[in-house]
Structure 1
Amino acid sequence: MKTRLCLLYGGKSAEHTVSLNTAKAVIKAMDRDKFEIHPIYITTEGRWVKGPLIEGPVEEIKALQFSGDEVSPSELTPAMTSSDGKSGYDVVLPLLHGPNGEDGTVQGMLELLNIPYVGNGVLASSAGMDKVIMKNIFAQAGLPQVNYVWFLRKTWQNDKESAYGLVEDKIGYPCFVKPANLGSSVGISKANSREELIAAFEEAFRYDRKIIIEEGVIAREIELGVIGNDTPECSVAGEIVPKKDFYDYKAKYEDGNTALIIPVELPTAVYEELVEKAKVAFKSLDCSGLVRADFFVTKNHEVLINEVNTMPGFTPVSMFPLLWKHTGVEYPDLIERLVSLAQERYEEKQQINHTF
């Protein structure tokens, strides 16, 4: 029988459009001889709208933006049975990026509903979403990183001069200012002066109540794909070579103004160190399913971890599926593997005794 898969996408997030493009690409890649694709679209206001069974590829993302009757998240529960007595969905595939989807909120709901779902659990999702918490955990795990400081909006508003002064004292220029809880390079700015730093703070605080400021380093941007549960595996390495100052949202998703070199040539020892550190990062956050691990490699071959993305994009220009394609895992096979990993993790959790 086909696996009844619920595709969950959209979301109340600045990365809403990214999620739609990811869903469109995943739908095109899925083997319909193996999967029934049942879509649920989450609007920018947070409404859940169930769409009809998807029978073929979707040409435009607007076809995925349903406007019918709102459904409750309880639509996913095992109580919703089909004619053969099985639960309505065998597994949920959340393709949600950013807050209210990639940050552990939806994952917590799916845990309460006791349904298998693809990707990281509550802890890994929430810690991986918050760049400050993630970097603190990486520091505890002994992973080398660039210098960073962080601020809450209230702290900054109460004494802006001290905030700017701390950045200049501890980090210096150039530096990158980012919302702590967002991805896809939304709200990120590079600052080379006090004037640019002020503008960067204001831009980042538009998207979050917490921001992080990181030291700018001259280094190559190298990424690896990681899949697995307790025994993660890594893909070949890829390099991002932006044709502008840095790899921003427009370069990622709109103009394609970036070169992705896959696989990238690296000394064997450097690649092995990247793999080792990617696995340490994966395990330190208790990840499962998939992550994309992002690194800086300096001219002296020093490896610094930048971050991990617990729900990397699956758009046609996204790094994660391309990395695995060049490793020998084609797109449809990658999706099947992730679904299998979700079911494996679910079965293991069912062995936990909840009574004493």
Structure 2
Amino acid sequence: MGSKVKIALVYGGKSGEHEVSLQTAYAVMGQFDFSQYEIIPFYITKQGEWRSGSKLIAPPQNVDQLKLQDAPGVSAMQALFAANPAYQAAEHALAAGAQDTAVISAASAEVTAEVQADGGIDVVFPLLHGTFGEDGTIQGLLEMANIPYVGAGVLASAVGMDKIMMKKIFAQENLPQCVFRYFNRTQWEKDSAYFIMECEVALGYPSFVKPANLGSSVGITKVKNREELIAAVNYAFRYDRKVIVEEFIDAREIEVSVLGNDEVQASVPGEIASSNEFYDYKAKYIDGKSAMIIPAELSAEMTEKIREMAVQAFQAIDGSGLSRVDFFVGREDNHIYINEINTMPGFTPFSMYPLLWKETGLEYKELLKKLIDLAMARHAAKAQLIFTEENAIQS
């Protein structure tokens, strides 16, 4: 590795949270120490086209500069696999017409040395929210490319995005949750009357209808009667093939930031005072009226219990790097319910995740460094694993 750590920031994406990702990337780029890190931007358009920018020597001046409109389009394979010395070596050898294993191996050694001398990409920081970024897809791509990356792995990312699978795992861990029902599009079309009855009997009204795989409260509707339920389900199916319906709980919304790999830390809890009927996309990103109360006004016993549950949830999905875990605390009985885990939470300096760590004693720049170090440590540990019987015999 060179004197500076080379970080590829990947942002944008095809999800409904494209603009949120741009804001996160803009904030992160402005906080890196350019004397220690080299930043290479990778912008993914709303159509899924990758654009690779030149190495940054200073933070961008505005969000529009992140769109890299004049940069050439590249495929994901070109953008990221090309940063892998072994991949470049194979391309080099095949382009030269080499077919003999020894020739390819020699070419591999030559190109690998060149790439490592230049530094390549040391770590990828995926600043992607929602579908195609937070759901295990890009994480799988980076695993194939054998490049270290910040945040949760494939499994944790996929589980953290799929609310149904997440809740099943939380149930296995005996983490208390609100009552929920779920179904896919085919099931709904075949027997919607049954699922309407199930939701009305088990959950009652009001209740919440959500796409199973999405973030930032996109596609979520609070419903108060059967007509609204049917309309909300059809609306949610615009975003995913699976829908989850949850009971309404009159509760405070509490959030905890989690950091680590195998050794996990939890921040102080914070509370969201939503400006809307619930903490939807408008309340999160548009009207600017929602308030964050940090630290949340909770008893010492409840604070510790929520922090313990946050770590338990993080470990239950095999999390790594970072996550934000969200809870409900009943207004009447103070009962704690886990709501969900977010494996790539909002990351501007004004987002809940870094603000909670700031209150806990970890500043934004230090938090970025910690996440990079965690990514490198996880990759190094994984490199020690044996994946084939042949390797096991040779070792």
User: Shorter-chain TM-score: which interval?
Assistant: over 0.9
Matches within 5 A, 1:109-258: 109-258=141-290
Q: Which amino acid aligns with 2:25?
A: A
Distance in 1 (alpha carbons) for counterparts of 2:273 and 2:227: 27
Counterpart selection for 2:363 from 320, 324, 330? 330
Distance in 1 (alpha carbons) for counterparts of 2:141 and 2:226: 43
Native 8 Å contact 1:253 1:317 kept in 2: no
Corresponding position of 2:35? 33
Distance in 1 (alpha carbons) for counterparts of 2:128 and 2:324: 15
Q: Which amino acid aligns with 1:63?
A: Q
Task: State the 1:34 CA deviation.
Answer: 1.1
Corresponding position of 1:272? 304
> In the alignment, is residue 77 of structure 1 matched against residue 87 of structure 2?
no
Q: Which amino acid aligns with 1:331?
A: Y
What per-residue deviation string (whole Å, max 9, x for no partner) do you get for residues 279-326 of structure 1? 110111000000000001113221110000000011343210111111
Distance in 1 (alpha carbons) for counterparts of 2:119 and 2:343: 27
Native 8 Å contact 2:181 2:244 kept in 1: yes
Q: Which amino acid aligns with 2:72?
A: D
Corresponding position of 1:20? 22
Counterpart selection for 1:339 from 359, 363, 372? 372
Q: Which amino acid aligns with 2:39?
A: I
Q: RMSD value over aligned CA atoms?
A: 1.4
Corresponding position of 2:52? 50
Distance in 2 (alpha carbons) for counterparts of 1:200 and 1:78: 49
Structure with greater Cα Rg: 2
> Could you say what secondary structure the match of 1:311 adopts?
coil
The unaligned stretches of length 5 or more in structure 1 are none
Native 8 Å contact 1:78 1:115 kept in 2: no
Distance in 1 (alpha carbons) for counterparts of 2:119 and 2:144: 15
- The TM-score normalised by the length of structure 2 is 0.87
Distance in 1 (alpha carbons) for counterparts of 2:28 and 2:329: 31
> CA 1:227–1:106 in 2, change beyond 3 Å: closer, same or farther?
same
Distance in 2 (alpha carbons) for counterparts of 1:237 and 1:13: 29
Bigger drift between 61-70 and 241-250 goes to: 61-70
> CA 1:181–1:83 in 2, change beyond 3 Å: closer, same or farther?
closer
Q: Which amino acid aligns with 1:69?
A: P
Distance in 1 (alpha carbons) for counterparts of 2:115 and 2:226: 65
Native 8 Å contact 2:349 2:364 kept in 1: no
Which structure's residues are more often helix, by fraction?
2
What per-residue deviation string (whole Å, max 9, x for no partner) do you get for residues 35-71 of structure 1? 1110011111211110122222323322111232222
Q: Which amino acid aligns with 1:11?
A: G
Task: State the 1:109 CA deviation.
Answer: 1.0
Native 8 Å contact 2:268 2:307 kept in 1: no
Size of the alignment, in residue pairs? 356
